[in-house]
């Protein structure tokens, strides 16, 4: 097995898709797909995927959010998603590089794949429509 710090150092970039078991972030022990949308210093901004479209649409409507802030990404071999996936671009999670390394050590993080520039820009467009997502736009650049 590769050292956890190497796993993160060699994969952590804008657009990477990680499958993470993170019950401290989301109220479930089921691993979910997260994609890195921005990196600044040791902070990594990740957006969560869901396959529960109707639940998420109902949530957005209840909150009064623009439904276009829910970005749809279809599964491909390269992005590693396994089902039609929806990313709520009104919310994000901030994890440090060390927290990601710890997830690898605990065997709670797997590399699923990576978004191409078109998929990434779909997320950025939805983020830009959000009235509550405060990730600085200058950080939202595909590299």
pLDDT over 70, % of the chain: 100
The angle that helices 97-105 and 4-11 make with each other, rounded to 10 degrees, is 130
Write out pLDDT tens, residues 115-142: 999 999 999 999 999 999 999 999 999 9
pLDDT at 1: 76
pLDDT at position 143: 78
| Average pLDDT of the chain to the nearest whole number | 96
CATH of 4-137, one of 2.30.30.110, 3.40.50.2000, 3.20.10.10, 1.10.1740.10: 2.30.30.110
Percent of the chain residues topping a pLDDT of 90: 98
Cα–Cα distance, 129 to 124 (Å, whole number): 9
Taking the CA of residue 134 as centre, how many other CA atoms within 13 Å lie in the half-sphere pointing to its CB? 1
| 50-91 residue pLDDT tens | 999 999 999 999 999 999 999 999 999 999 999 999 999 999
pLDDT of 40 higher than 80? yes
C-alpha pair distances (Å), 4 with each of 29, 94, 130: 21, 19, 34
């Amino acid at each position: 097995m590769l050292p956890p710090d190497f796993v993160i150092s060699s994969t952590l970039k804008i657009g990477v898709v990680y499958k993470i078991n993170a019950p401290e972030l989301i109220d479930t022990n089921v691993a979910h797909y997260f994609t890195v949308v921005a990196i600044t210093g040791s902070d990594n901004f990740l957006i969560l995927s869901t396959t529960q479209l109707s639940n998420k649409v109902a949530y957005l409507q209840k909150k009064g959010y623009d439904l276009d802030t829910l970005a749809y990404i279809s599964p491909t071999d390269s992005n590693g998603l396994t089902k039609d996936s929806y990313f709520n671009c009104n919310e994000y999670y901030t994890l440090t590089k060390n927290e990601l390394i710890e997830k690898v050590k605990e065997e709670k993080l797997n590399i699923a794949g990576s978004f191409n520039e078109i998929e990434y820009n779909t997320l950025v467009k939805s983020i830009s429509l959000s009235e509550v997502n405060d990730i600085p736009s200058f950080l939202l650049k595909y590299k």
